[in-house]
Amino acid sequence: ISLSCQAVVQMIPTLGNTRRIFTVLFLVLVTTTTVASFSIDRLPSPLPSLSVKRIRQQPSLLFAASCRQNTSLSKIMSSNENEMEGSNAGVIIVGSANQDLVAYTPVLPTRGQTVMGTSFVTSCGGKGANQAVAAASIGVSPNGVSMVCRVGDDSFGQNLLSNFRRVNVIYDEEKVIAKGSAKEGDEGEETSSSYHTGVAPILVDTQSGDNVIVVAPGANYALAPSDVKESILSSSKKPSVVVTQLEIKPESALEALRTGREVNAITILNTAPAPEDWEMSDEFYQLADIVIPNETELRVICGRPPHDEEGNKDGGDVENTAEIEMAKELLNKGVRRAVIVTLGARGAMIVERNPDKSQEEPTVTFVDAPKDLPCRSLPVVDTVGAGDAFCGALSAYLDAGLMLDEAATKACGVASMSVRKRGAQDSYP
């Protein structure tokens, strides 16, 4: 390029005025393009190096890249180490870590029925771990994602911790292995054993992607409220977002919200799984800035019968009206900012307190995955972990500074992308 430019420069005196102008413009264009290309090659990139061929093979990677690039992170990416030194500790997820045992079948069994499956896989799971991996995988949380959990001293536990390291989820190596023993047996029987890592047998319908799950919590129930409080307060930098779910002991989840509020973090409660043999106190709602149930969980925590028992068959508008009213009930119980109801293929509904104090009626916003989602036309394969993908992504986007509706829109995109592949954490970007 240099030799060619020298030759052109030598020709300039022999050219007419018009040609001289065009020749000079050409030289400026070539020089600028060359310098820019060398500069870009040397810039540190927040994205992994992806070939064009690989992006074409996996459309979800295209959206994953846009998730990272379109989050108004120019200030974060350009910050120097001194600016980052005084910032917060990012996202802390307090919750469960399970080994998923997944069987795929063309038809889910009814009570007493045995059906044949088509395949079986084991994968890393647990609602808390899923959300932590989803938050870390999109790479937008400026100060990283930490996980507060307990696993057993067994192969399943080591597999989960290895996966945390792989995706850069931070955890306390000294405390993550559950100590002590778990009581077993019938009432009055003095038997005990060491904690096993939580497991979740899952059945997935290969036709619809629907699933049923049974969770054996194991070491997850070894996470005590005092452990939660210590983990959040001992961080050298206070978190900006604290997230918890109900796959750990209720008192431990409540402590996560209480301590998160104490350090002025955004507190998020994902009401999954919905309580069955216990009732959530109003303190859960009063300590939560954002509560995230799905449609079924919303009905359970609001004391409503399931859809099929209520006989509500009049269409989406009637469904939305009922869900809006139930979300308002939760706001009235003390939720500080918003209730976000995940609606599956319909996206999510945000019922948010009106920032205008003169308007007491909450605002209602419906959001869905971005229209340009590359994998939107692909078939739904497996819905396991989609709700966790939404919760984890939402926390990361809020940590990055996005407004709630924008964060929820992008989180819908991550969740929509996850259902196009099998598995929970394996399906995240």
Catalytic annotation, residues = 388
CA quadruple 204, 210, 216, 222: dihedral, nearest 10:
130
Tell me if the bond preceding 250 is cis, omega within 30° of 0. no
Q: Are strands 241-244 and 211-213 parallel, antiparallel or unpaired?
A: unpaired
Nearest residue to 385 (alpha-carbon basis) of 167, 94, 131, 95: 131
Rounded alpha-carbon distances, angstroms, from residue 390 to 127, 135, 138, 151, 222: 11, 9, 12, 24, 26
- What DSSP element (H or E) covers 148? strand 145-148
Hey, how many other C-beta atoms are within 10 angstroms of the C-beta on 183? 9
**Cα–Cα distance, 117 to 106 (Å, whole number):** 7
Tokens of 118: 């088509």
Query: Which residues neighbour 26 within 8 Å (Cβ) at sequence distance 6 or greater?
Result: 8
Nearest residue to 134 (alpha-carbon basis) of 149, 121, 147, 122: 147
Nearest residue to 202 (alpha-carbon basis) of 213, 187, 189: 213
Rounded alpha-carbon distances, angstroms, from residue 403 to 76, 111, 191, 287, 398: 16, 45, 52, 21, 7
Rounded alpha-carbon distances, angstroms, from residue 312 to 204, 295, 309, 366: 26, 13, 8, 21
**Cα–Cα distance, 180 to 175 (Å, whole number):** 12
The answer to whether residues 200 and 158 touch, using CB atoms and an 8 Å cutoff, is no
The answer to whether residues 339 and 301 touch, using CB atoms and an 8 Å cutoff, is no
The answer to whether residues 371 and 198 touch, using CB atoms and an 8 Å cutoff, is no
Query: What count of Cα atoms within 13 Å lies in the side-chain half-sphere of residue 193?
Result: 10
